[in-house]
Structure 1
Amino acid sequence: MKQSYSYDWLGTTFPIIQAPMAGVQDSALAIAVSKAGGLGSLPCAMLGVDEIAHQVSLIKKGTTGPFNLNFFCHEAVEYSESKHQQWRELLKPYFDEFSGAYDASIKSVSRVPFNHDIADVIEGFVPPVISFHFGLPEKALLKRIKSWGCKILSSATTIEEAIWLEEMGVDGIIAQGVEAGGHRGMFLSNDISTQMGLSSLLPQIVDRVRIPVIAAGGVCDARSIDAALALGASAVQVGTAYLLCHEVNTSRFHRDALKGEKANHTALTNVFTGKPARGISNRVMKELGYMSDGVPAFPYASMEMAQLKSLAEKQGLGDFSSLWSGQNASACQEISAFELTQQLVKNMRNKPLNGSF
């Protein structure tokens, strides 16, 4: 098992990557973390190409530190009207409860896989790091990105996924333990019984690959960072701990849940988007079943759920909101992300040596 504090592959001062969290953050969080010596990340999967360019421009202006652009690369599937008709019938009692009607004219989705149009936009920015969720883009796109000289990371939720990613030529693997909040990066299997806790997954991946491994899932404070590094990680990815920071756009429903007893109850669910993701348990997850067979394919399920979310939140309810969170929200603090990042490093038992990771 390997442990190292000497890698310069990320170009950061500290071995901390801020997890990209689509829907609750923009460039402000990435800038704060990069300024503090970590690797700030911008989630781009829910942004149009013009907004991606705008946010990356803000990062370039806001920090001289390295940053990461994160994209989804799920396989696009066809929209199924029959599946959605069944899904709407299942959801109709909720629309009736809120005296609302589903707007069937909305056919667009907010999550698109990485493509050449996006690559055209970001190529001129020469991003230092690009990370992917749900595998990797097709070979021609991957070859194009490699030609830019940026570091490429991707998430693995199983040993098999990690081995596949190494064979495809990534520079680092994000070992995503089942504790992690938000979408699982699963791409070789849909079987959630394959999903392991970080302390089991991480050392097994470290033993099977020859490239740096980043630990993600339940990493929220100095103790968990120390533990991940001791298990062989070259860096850690921290997400949930940042959700109450000043630079994050977390909704009041999300913030209230994170600060209360509800945060102790999280589960994997597919009811919001069609793919398994960990969030704080709420009414719709319980009543529909955390993993429902009736959910349309990713990301189309979000069309109906987004409308229900809007109706419920207008009545002051977060019962239909995706409150993404990992299993450990205890380290969430209402402080700046810069301060939180520095705090994480200050309290580490094994301080990083001078130099870059």
Structure 2
Amino acid sequence: MTLLDKLALRLPVIQAPMAGVSTPVMAAAVSNAGALGSIGVGATNALGAAQMISDVRRLTDRSFNVNVFVHEAPRRDPDREAAWLDAMRPLFEGFSAEPPPSLATIYQSFADDDDMLRVLVEQAPPVVSFHFGLPEEAKVKALRAAGCVLIATATSLDEALAAKKAGMDAVVAQGFEAGGHRGVFDPAAADAQLGTLALTRLLVARSGLPVIAAGGIMDGQGVRAVLDLGATAAQLGTAFIGCPESAADDAYRAALHSDAAHHTTMTNAISGRPARCLRNRFTSWAEGTTEATPDYPVAYDAGKSLNAAAKASGDSGFGAQWAGQGAPLSRCMGAAELVQTLERELKA
């Protein structure tokens, strides 16, 4: 039985689990339309995740995906964090605000979150996916015993082979074009920055797992291209940001459909990990600073505080507006309509 058969998908398309953007309403709409909807719970706790899963189940009886972050705990460095806040001080002062006196670890990794594991085992969503790394063997066994299909993101063949060894059912080949956080297991290691096409073909040929291609795919023609390379399915994230069911705010949507869509950039300044987003005032500032960024998600605490100060002054140029290189091809339509459009384009 293939992965698509196991999940009862009519269309080989997965809506990416964009934490902070994907919603239960959008995930359910995608799943009801015959693709695989997703929610990201890496930015919430176990209680919030349980509510999101319940909300999805209330809206659909189809398969859906729940994504967690499996990053290493941040190395706290008070001197580096203080220097980062000092470097950002002029930005805060530009909005008549002060930087926070200190920073916090605002998101807990699934690697250290037994409460999240308990919720996932109890709720047993059809699919659980992992970003930034792989959980320990005991967590994998617990989720597999609960009946969950397990998927991990990989940006290289080595990461894909590690996913296979860990017992994953499939792997997401995340190309360098992809929006949002880069899924590298070790952000301090050298990154070969493989594009979606090269990485997909490499993992199809050598990983020994079903491959889900991700990065720069925005339409049915893009889906067809990666299927022709041997991928089992395509994962699209940026394509769904403009849907009314997403949690993107008005400024994010406007930026996505502006000239900014032609100028995405990879930065670690916003969160502490490399992530592709629309170029804005914050990313432009980051390109000129020499201060070392605190680890993820500590740096995100500073970035979110700055964005809140900017938004309070009516400035939307400091947000985490994640988007891939396919952003100029974004379309405004409901999530179900987008899935139906992708299906028509794929058949054509």
TM tier, smaller: over 0.9
Q: 2:211–2:233: 8 Å Cα contact kept in structure 1?
A: yes
The 1:6/1:312 distance shift into structure 2, 3 A limit, reads closer
Report the alpha carbon displacement of residue 193 of structure 1 after superposing the two structures with TM: 4.1
Q: 1:310 aligns with which of 285, 308, 313?
A: 308
Q: How far apart, in 1, do the equivalents of 2:128 and 2:3 lie?
A: 21
Unmatched 5+ stretches in structure 1? 351-357
Q: How far apart, in 1, do the equivalents of 2:267 and 2:236 lie?
A: 21
Q: 2:110 aligns with which of 98, 106, 113?
A: 113
**Identical residues among aligned pairs (%):** 36
Report the alpha carbon displacement of residue 125 of structure 1 after superposing the two structures with TM: 1.7
Q: 2:199 aligns with which of 198, 201, 211?
A: 201
TM-score, normalised with respect to structure 1: 0.92
Q: 2:99 aligns with which of 102, 123, 134?
A: 102
Report the alpha carbon displacement of residue 240 of structure 1 after superposing the two structures with TM: 0.3
3-state SS of 1:347 partner: helix
Report the alpha carbon displacement of residue 228 of structure 1 after superposing the two structures with TM: 0.5
Q: How far apart, in 2, do the equivalents of 1:6 and 1:55 lie?
A: 24
Report the alpha carbon displacement of residue 273 of structure 1 after superposing the two structures with TM: 0.7
Q: 1:265 aligns with which of 263, 266, 284?
A: 263
1:166 aligns with 2:184: no
Report the alpha carbon displacement of residue 292 of structure 1 after superposing the two structures with TM: 6.0
Q: 2:29 aligns with which of 32, 47, 60?
A: 32
Q: How far apart, in 2, do the equivalents of 1:88 and 1:107 lie?
A: 12
Q: How far apart, in 1, do the equivalents of 2:199 and 2:279 lie?
A: 24
Query: 1:54-84 CA deviation, whole Å, 9 max, x = no partner?
Result: 1111111110100100000001134222111
Report the alpha carbon displacement of residue 291 of structure 1 after superposing the two structures with TM: 9.1
321-330 or 174-183: bigger deviation: 321-330
Q: How far apart, in 2, do the equivalents of 1:256 and 1:220 lie?
A: 18
Report the alpha carbon displacement of residue 283 of structure 1 after superposing the two structures with TM: 1.7
Q: 1:180–1:327: 8 Å Cα contact kept in structure 2?
A: yes
Q: 2:52 aligns with which of 52, 55, 58?
A: 55
The 1:57/1:173 distance shift into structure 2, 3 A limit, reads same
Report the alpha carbon displacement of residue 33 of structure 1 after superposing the two structures with TM: 0.4
Matches within 5 A, 1:318-333: 318-333=316-331
Equivalent residues, number: 347
Name the structure where helix makes up a greater proportion of residues. Answer: 2
Q: 1:17–1:236: 8 Å Cα contact kept in structure 2?
A: yes
Could you say which residue in structure 2 is the equivalent of 1:141? Answer: 139
3-state SS of 1:137 partner: coil
Q: 2:157–2:207: 8 Å Cα contact kept in structure 1?
A: no
Q: How far apart, in 1, do the equivalents of 2:289 and 2:162 lie?
A: 27
Report the alpha carbon displacement of residue 51 of structure 1 after superposing the two structures with TM: 1.5
Query: 1:255-296 CA deviation, whole Å, 9 max, x = no partner?
Result: 111011110000110001110000011122122228965100
3-state SS of 1:8 partner: helix
3-state SS of 2:327 partner: coil
Query: 1:203-247 CA deviation, whole Å, 9 max, x = no partner?
Result: 011110222100000111011001000011000101101111010
Report the alpha carbon displacement of residue 156 of structure 1 after superposing the two structures with TM: 0.4
Q: How far apart, in 2, do the equivalents of 1:5 and 1:150 lie?
A: 15
Q: How far apart, in 2, do the equivalents of 1:328 and 1:88 lie?
A: 33
3-state SS of 1:109 partner: coil
Could you say which residue in structure 2 is the equivalent of 1:300? Answer: 298
1:190 aligns with 2:188: yes
TM-score, normalised with respect to structure 2: 0.95
Q: 1:279 aligns with which of 277, 284, 295?
A: 277
The 1:199/1:271 distance shift into structure 2, 3 A limit, reads same
Q: How far apart, in 2, do the equivalents of 1:292 and 1:23 lie?
A: 29
Report the alpha carbon displacement of residue 97 of structure 1 after superposing the two structures with TM: 1.3
Could you say which residue in structure 1 is the equivalent of 2:19? Answer: 22
Q: How far apart, in 1, do the equivalents of 2:224 and 2:206 lie?
A: 21
The alignment yields a C-alpha RMSD, in angstroms, of 1.9
Q: 1:269–1:291: 8 Å Cα contact kept in structure 2?
A: no
Report the alpha carbon displacement of residue 200 of structure 1 after superposing the two structures with TM: 1.1
Q: 1:17–1:40: 8 Å Cα contact kept in structure 2?
A: yes
Q: 2:243–2:334: 8 Å Cα contact kept in structure 1?
A: yes
Could you say which residue in structure 2 is the equivalent of 1:64? Answer: 61
Amino acid at match of 1:94: L
Q: 2:4–2:10: 8 Å Cα contact kept in structure 1?
A: no
The 1:105/1:268 distance shift into structure 2, 3 A limit, reads closer
